[in-house]
Amino acid sequence: MGSVPIDRPGKIIAAGLNYRDHAGEATVAAPTSPILFAKWGTCLIGPDEPIVIPAGIEEVDWEAELAVVISRTARGVGIDDALDFVAGYACMNDVSARKAQRDDGQWTRAKSFDTFGPVGPRLVPASEIPDPQVLGIRARVNGELMQDSNTSAMIFSVAYLISYISAGITLEPGDLITTGTPSGVGAFRPTPIFLHPGDRVDIEIDGIGTLSNPVTGA
């Protein structure tokens, strides 16, 4: 069982609806500026650690995402310089409890339950990924391909997100930005599919590897 490949970040800042096709499957308009929300650091787990569905929590879904770890303090960073503030990249599964999202009217609790932030399988140095906008990204559940896209389909690039966030929020070393998910999540399929104990979720990004986690009940 692997460990989380990063130190506990001071902030986890997530971008919602950052792929046009995901906004489309959710039948909402694509955002004209980034939609940001928080995930709490206590949700993080590493590769092969179990995603634990809490008692009474329904409609648990997967989201394949590219995670970005900040290398040094960033405030007011321009887009052209933004990638100079990246320490590295990892796969992330932005696990989401869809019924809790609807009930709460916002996203933080539903995406921050303990174990709802798998990240890994390793932190790949930024020097190994000169362009984070050309990476194939996929999710499989029990071996079945559910998401298959490319980071080129992001509405707001990694550089744009860093610049946008740092305009008013100081980013510090170790902070994590997770950049949104493409279409293919379980909630918006013609017949919705959700995670259950005994399932396994694999998140794969080209140049980074595969993050694999089993699913268990509390």
Return the CATH number at 119: 3.90.850.10
What's the CA gap between 88 and 19, in Å, rounded? 21
The pLDDT, as a whole number, for residue 101 is 94
Structural domain includes residue 71: no
Q: Which residues, 6 or more positions from 32, have their beta carbon under 8 angstroms from its beta carbon?
A: none
Q: In the prediction, which pLDDT does 201 show?
A: 98
Residue carrying structure tokens 């650091």: 41
> Is 68 part of a structural domain of the chain?
no
Q: How many domains does the chain have?
A: 1
Residue 72 domain-assigned? Answer: no
Residue pair 42/54 in contact (Cβ under 8 Å)? The answer is no
Domain containing 29 equals: 12-63+78-185+194-217
Domain assignment present for residue 7? The answer is no
- Domain assignment present for residue 113? The answer is yes
User: Is 46 domain-assigned?
Assistant: yes
pLDDT along the chain (218 residues), means of 10: 86 96 91 97 97 97 98 98 98 98 94 98 97 98 98 98 98 98 96 98 98 96
**For residues 217 and 24, what is the distance between their CA atoms, to the nearest angstrom?**
31
> Which pLDDT score, from 0 to 100, does residue 102 have?
94
The alpha helices in the chain, defined as continuous H runs, are: 20-25, 98-104, 158-166
89 domain-assigned: yes
Phi, psi (degrees; rounded to nearest 5) at 126: -60, -30
Residue 4 lies in a domain: no
User: Could you give the count of Cα atoms lying within 13 Å of 204 in the half-sphere of its Cβ?
Assistant: 15
Computed from CA positions of residues 189, 12, 124, 73, in that sequence, does the dihedral angle turn out positive or negative?
A: positive
